[in-house]
Amino acid sequence: MLRLEEVRHSYDGRPVLCGITLELAQHRIGVIGANGSGKSTLARTLNGLVVPDRGSVTMGEWDTRRHAKHIRRRVGFVFSDAANQIIMPTVAEDVEIGLRSLGLGREETERRVEAVLTRYGLDGHRDHPGHLLSGGQKQLLALASVLVTEPEVLVCDEPTTLLDLRNTRMVHRVLDGLEQQVILFTHDLDLLDGFDRVLVMDAGRVVFDGAPGDAVDHYIGLMDGR
């Protein structure tokens, strides 16, 4: 379970996270808030992409300040723009690169790559350049490249921001079907249906923590100035 204890972080002297303490145990957790509320910075603290100025982010005996490598093997991260994660010449190579640090044999590596490409309908594109895929396929490739490493937790930072409705629904179905814990940072309130818990962020703080419907109502009230 991920735990945050008095997490604080600033950019150029401007506070973006202001003493956040959380235990993230539920299977499906959503995080919502306006632009500038601190969502993306919070997301990046969960696997050590951002190490907070103060406080700690831990998973069991590991913490992101001292054990980032161990945390990242357990906590996968998906960016809003899949192009940020597509770096290899072909789709199969892009999936494979995430396995290189695990010390797997060639046979097991190939088995995992083929399995995840087939699962997400990308097996017909294995030798194609990833940057030539459609928007939805790119996001599936980004997901596949993380999930092939079999993390325990998947953190998604607005994964549907650049997608149309059809592809947004496709990504929603994929996330909904995962065994892993999913922590979803999103502006798309419809994606939160069926979630166990939703946090609302404002000005670097968690200002509401509860059921999806109540959290959405609280967020809308914030946006309306109520």
CA-nearest of 44, 43, 7, 2 to 180 is 2
Task: Answer whether 99's CB lies under 8 Å from 113's CB.
Answer: yes
* CA angle (123, 159, 190) in 5-degree steps: 115
| Distance between CA atoms of residues 48 and 17, nearest Å | 15
pTM for this predicted structure:
0.93
pLDDT tens digits in sequence order for the chain, 226 residues long: 999 999 999 999 999 999 999 999 999 999 999 999 999 999 999 999 999 999 999 999 999 999 998 999 999 999 988 888 888 999 999 999 888 877 788 889 899 999 999 998 999 999 999 989 988 899 999 999 999 999 999 999 999 888 888 888 888 889 999 999 999 999 999 999 899 999 999 999 999 999 999 999 999 999 887 5
Burial of 130 by CB count in 10 Å (0-12 exposed, 13-18 middle, 19+ buried)?
A: buried
**Residue extents of the structural domains in the chain:** 2-85+148-223
Q: Which CATH number fits domain 2-85+148-223: 3.90.230.10, 1.20.1090.10, 2.40.40.20, 3.40.50.300?
A: 3.40.50.300
